[in-house]
Amino acid sequence: MQPEAPIAFVSRATEPPGLELRINFGLFAGREATPAEIDQLGETLLDTAPQVSIVSENRHEISHESEAALHQVVVELSPDALPADYARLDELEQRLVVAAELWARDCIAERHVGLTEP
């Protein structure tokens, strides 16, 4: 019999991502990104970076005074995927941001959920 996987566990990052790009998708789309849209984003970003990790997350920030919920798409690049030269790194960052914004705008234009009723 195989041991049961834990439901909750602590994970300490030994190496943070070299670059993290956050896309406030839900704020503008009024919905979550679909798995197909995430795949499309990955394919798009592979034109700029050799490898990416993409997380689609629902964040809930809660305190005694307030509560906020939002959907973000997070793109991570490992440190070894980044150029050492600052000018090339800046260019890579700008290309990733432009590609991510175009992807998000296309997704939103195709299917947008309004936050208020007309």
Give dist(CA 62, CA 109) in Å, integer: 31
Residue 1 lies in a domain: no
Number of structural domains in the chain? 1
Residue 84 has pLDDT above 50, yes or no: yes
Check if the beta carbon of residue 26 is closer than 8 Å to that of residue 71: yes
One DSSP character per residue, 63-110 reads -SS-EEEEEEEEEEE-GGGS-SSHHHHHHHHHHHHHHHHHHHHHHHHH
pLDDT at 117: 45
Residue 118 lies in a domain: no
- Which residue range(s) make up the domain with 25? 19-57+69-110
Per DSSP bridges, beta strands 67-77 and 19-23 are: antiparallel
Residue of 78 and 2 predicted with greater confidence? 78
Q: Are 25 and 72 in contact (CB under 8 A)?
A: yes
Average pLDDT of 68-85? 92
Tell me what pLDDT residue 6 has. Answer: 78
Predicted local distance difference test score (pLDDT) of residue 94: 94
CATH number of the domain at 88, please: 3.30.70.60
Look at residue 16 and tell me whether its pLDDT is greater than 90: no
Please indicate, yes or no, if residue 12 is contained in any of the structural domains. no
Token pair, residue 16, equals 């943070």
User: For position 116, what pLDDT does the model report?
Assistant: 47
Instruction: Give the model confidence (pLDDT) of 33-64 as tens digits.
Output: 999 999 999 999 999 999 999 999 999 999 99
Residue 117 resides in a domain? no
pLDDT score, position 118: 42
**Does 85 map to a domain?**
yes
Band of residue 14 on the pLDDT scale cut at 50, 70, 90 = low
Please check whether residue 73 is in contact with residue 38, taking contact to mean a CB–CB distance below 8 angstroms.
yes
Sequence-ordered list of residues with C-beta below 8 angstroms from that of 100, at least 6 positions apart, any chain: 21, 23, 41, 45, 73, 75
**Residue 4 falls within a domain, yes or no?**
no
Q: Is the predicted pLDDT of residue 32 greater than 90, yes or no?
A: yes
Q: Is residue 90 part of a domain?
A: yes
